[in-house]
Amino acid sequence: MSHAKEKPGEKTPVKTRIGHVLLELRMVLPGAQALLGFQVAILLVDAFDRLPWSSRLVHLGSLACVALSILLLITPAAYHRIVEQGEETEHFHKVASGFLVAATLPLALGLSGDAFVVVRKVLDSTRAGLIAGGVNLALCFALWFGLSLAARGSRRRAEAEAVGA
């Protein structure tokens, strides 16, 4: 699939955009599933029971966030089959894109919560855990949303200048 448009100003066909969003969903889903597997597996280790109660609650919340992220990532497939009956529509592209972006929010929270738990355990410091979790969350939002929104703004300004020139 080419990222280039056929001609300047020409919109990418919906079939191509749907292919892109489905590929993006398939890229994110295995990582989220692997993280969920590790989160569940850690519950079976004796050391988990020795974590402070607050860390266990944060881990539970993180597990719930990652599970929610996975549900959001899988939903477009069911929606496509049930609602769109496999048809490639602009509406489906919007729905799938919305679920993909929505899934990154709980994924960021789940990653950050577990970063807190791990760093708190390793360094035996709640403060270090909070810093690690906060930095992780800030990086997720900066890279996933800040960078993307800034690039979109730059692109729109450049397109507006090109039209005005």
| pLDDT at residue 8, as a whole number | 56
Rounded to whole angstroms, what are the CA distances from 101 to 39, 50, 88, 123, 152? 22, 36, 19, 33, 15
Three-class secondary structure of residue 137 per DSSP: helix
* Per-residue pLDDT tens over the stretch 107-164: 999 999 999 999 999 999 999 999 999 999 999 999 999 999 999 898 888 888 888 7
pTM for the structure as a whole: 0.83
Is 4 a member of any domain? no
Is 7 a member of any domain? no
| pLDDT at residue 107, as a whole number | 96
Between 2 and 61, name the one with better pLDDT.
61
Is 3 a member of any domain? no
* Per-residue pLDDT tens over the stretch 57-98: 999 999 999 999 999 999 999 998 889 888 888 999 999 999
For the chain, what is the domain count? 1
Q: Do 58 and 116 touch, CB atoms closer than 8 A?
A: yes
Is 123 a member of any domain? yes
